[in-house]
Chain A
Amino acid sequence: MGKRVGMEVSIAAAEAVKQANVDVISAYPITPQTHIVEHLSDLVANGEMDADFFCVESEHSALSVCVGSEATGARSFTCTSSQGLALMSEITYIASGLRLPIVMILANRTLSAPLSIWNDHSDVMSIRDCGWIQFFVENGQEVYDHVFISYRLAEDRKVLLPVIINMDGFTLSHVIEPFEMIEQEKIDQFLPPYQPLYRLHPDHPITMGAFALPSIFAETKKAQEVVIRSSMPKISEVWKAFGDMTGRYYNPIETYKAEDAETLLVTMGSLGETASVAVDRMREEGRSVGLVKIRLWRPFPFEDFKQVALKAKDLVVIDRAISVGMGGPVASELKAALYGYDSRPSVYNFVAGISGRDVAPSDFIKMVDKAEIEIEEGNKEGYELYGVRE
């Protein structure tokens, strides 16, 4: 078993990038991602990590450098938050279209305006359709673990897609947690050096990023869509291999006391841990409530989700972002996933905890109370912004 240490989550994330033998780091500091790149910068400057650190002038450049370095076959890493992601959003689509297995940690933070540095998921929802595999993690250990998982997955010849690890800003990035660090030898075995399928090299000239006429564009998108959808078994395989190595097994949809639960809370990210406390309290009161945590956001695990969700009577879905004019993006996708089933559960949607507003266990209980009453009264597809002062 690896060494157990107490560490700030951002520092552990940076240590994972070091242990993953990343060749190129290109990033621009932005709260709350800053500690990750600062620590990486230290590691490179002190000679503790054999990598090139590119101090670029913007996030657009940060990801552009990664596109270039990854194209030459260098394992590349970037990290950002909020406005930084918005600025690099153009390049996110390019990285996936070119099938470059870059890994990014996104310390999730609210998109302005109003200007806010705190946590929610509005940043990542703005690039929901960018074609990267997207994980949401719940705690620091999962961030650390998913750096290795993501590179192994991304670089697999059957996948070759970039990966985003979503971790809640501050709630995770700035807290000190216990970590089980993995021995370097084990990581080297789990994550061998990157063997690119194609790379830019003067001896074997190829072109990446050529334009496509309408006569070939749709075929290209189809290939991209098929590869991300069919990466599902590979994701499970990598999680299984990681679990066999560490004892920590992951699933696309995680559940807590969800068996036979009539009402299921649905969360994504660090809210899951708080929600589980609320579930314990409600179970103690004899209420039939369970929890579903979405770990894999893209490709969306329809089958795994349906298996759990179709057994429940009500879903109470907590979104940490608003698709203004439409509601919560997670809830709308879950509704779409359940469409077509006659005996589907009601989906009641709360947008809660935006811009880092705390969501305590008691809040989850209040949301379940409210949803159950509303659904009982016939409002089966309700939506509201939770806790707003009238």
Chain B
Amino acid sequence: MTKPESEWTWKELPVGNVVLEPGNASQYRTGDWKSLKPVLTQEKCIHCGLCYIFCPDMAYNLNEEGYFIADLYYCKGCGICAKECPTGAISMVEEET
């Protein structure tokens, strides 16, 4: 999408509102839904990747140091990663506004 949805006029919409650009859901910022964000305590992390596997939004990515980190642009703050983490390395903390 070339510009945010909220800026489109009715004349610019494609007929029937078809989405002509495949995969543009990646531009949708679901991260602003959350009230809690996952925070990783690296000392406890065993690099098992369960957070990555269970994340329903595929928000987790492996960083260069070998840790799985949630991309807060997409993370909705559901807390499944924190619940599934076998060592309790992920805690859900309130986002600062």
Query: Interface on A for B, CB 8 Å cutoff?
Result: 97-100, 160, 197-198, 205-208, 210, 212-213, 215-216, 219-220, 222-223, 226
Contacts and interface: CB of A to CB of B under 8 A. Distances in A.
B15 A207 contact: no
Contacts of A222: 10
Leading 4 A-B pairs by shortest Cβ distance: A99-B16, A207-B19, A219-B10, A215-B6
Interface of B: 5-6, 8-11, 13-20, 22
A216 B8 contact: yes
A206 B15 contact: no
Contacts of A212: 17
Contacts of A198: 14-16, 18, 20
B8 A219 contact: yes
Given A213-B5, A215-B6, A219-B8, A206 B13 contact: no
18 contacts: A97-B17, A98-B17, A99-B15, A99-B16, A160-B15, A160-B16, A198-B18, A206-B18, A207-B19, A207-B22, A208-B16, A210-B19, A216-B5, A216-B8, A219-B13, A220-B10, A222-B10, A223-B10
A294 B52 CA distance: 63
**Interface of A (DSSP majority class):** loop
Nearest to B9: A219
Contacts of A210: 17, 19
Contacts of A206: 18-20, 22
Nearest to B6: A215
Given A215-B6, A216-B5, A98 B16 contact: yes
A206 B19 CA distance: 6
Contacts of B9: 219
Contacts of A207: 18-19, 22
A166 to B, nearest CB: 24
A208 B18 CA distance: 5
A200 to B, nearest CB: 9
A223 B15 CA distance: 8
Contact of B17 (A100, A205, A215, A220): A220
A282 B17 CA distance: 53
Contacts of B13: 216, 219-220, 223
